[in-house]
A and B are shown apart, each in its own frame.
Chain A
């Protein structure tokens, strides 16, 4: 039995280390899956998703009351400009999640005073256009998500054109 003490102690330490590493890796892994599923239009481009239903559930616990528009981003190719056009009189928000699934920015329609706004998302040290409202990210990858609340799923027909005014794209000009 004494022959097992060393291997068992090693196994326990390995188990604790494995658990710790796995717990840290879960958000990154799931964010990668979400970027894949939400980015039908590709990275650094806004995808205007259909409403959630049993056949379309790109992430767990989707809200059937929300029209989600998502921009999976990769800042390794440069900063990202996100243009948001709120819909008058109803809840909408832009939230930016990093690769660790942390929220690094949120603005809703009331905070935006109902007006269109532009956010430039950039890594520390990346050059950004003068005068831009900048959010700095600690990771290259993540998802910018626009939620638009629907009182009834049928409303999407009338609101789709407005939500498609929101967009995202890599910044190519600094002036």
Chain B
């Protein structure tokens, strides 16, 4: 084999490895943040000038046009409270107390971060449309079939899913220590 053949092979290989590495390094989605709170993770560096190139590319791929943390904190969950992957075949109880923010919502996406068609045309719940019970808590069922009563976020059979919790204008107490904030629980009830 001639020398230039060897260089040609490593040029092609180097380009392929470099592009693959770039794609892999920036594919962590919004869940690769620095802050974890139960199954939820976030980073307070989204959408700011201080963000490093890898985080910027990661956010561009997973949450393009995301707002900075003062405006909105984006939490992402791929698993339930027990650490199991969120599964569209199963029933979950999503519950919590009203969050320390001017407005909040939880949206269900597929693994790539897109909305999936469902017969009810429901993809999110928010602070204005969940009922608060006598204990001051709200509760939502995530399941492929509509529950007998209560709020519902449709899952899709045969598809894993992700949840994104948005907190608009989070309170000062929350921003002081988001890792210890009380966030919604995601508990699997059956499959």
Contacts and interface: CB of A to CB of B under 8 A. Distances in A.
Interface of B: 1, 3, 6-7, 9-11, 13-15, 17-19, 21-23, 25-26, 30, 47-49, 51, 53-54, 56-57, 59-65, 67-68, 70-71, 102-103, 105, 107, 109, 112-117, 121, 123-124, 126, 128-129, 164, 166, 168-169
Nearest to B50: A102
B115 A106 contact: no
Given A19-B19, A52-B115, A24 B53 contact: yes
A91 interface: yes
Interface in A96-149: 97, 100-104, 106, 108, 110, 143, 145, 149
A22 B18 contact: yes
A40 B81 CA distance: 42
B59 to A, nearest CB: 7
A12 B25 CA distance: 17
Interface residues of A, number: 54
B65 A106 contact: no
B10 A14 contact: yes
Interface on chain B toward A: helix, strand, loop, or mixed SS?
mixed
B18 to A, nearest CB: 3
A10 B47 contact: no
Interface core residue of B6, B19, B164 (most chain A CB under 10 Å) = B6
A161 interface: no
A31 interface: yes
A18 to B, nearest CB: 3
A60 B3 contact: no
A64 B129 CA distance: 14
Given A31-B64, A65-B126, A110-B169, A23 B25 contact: yes
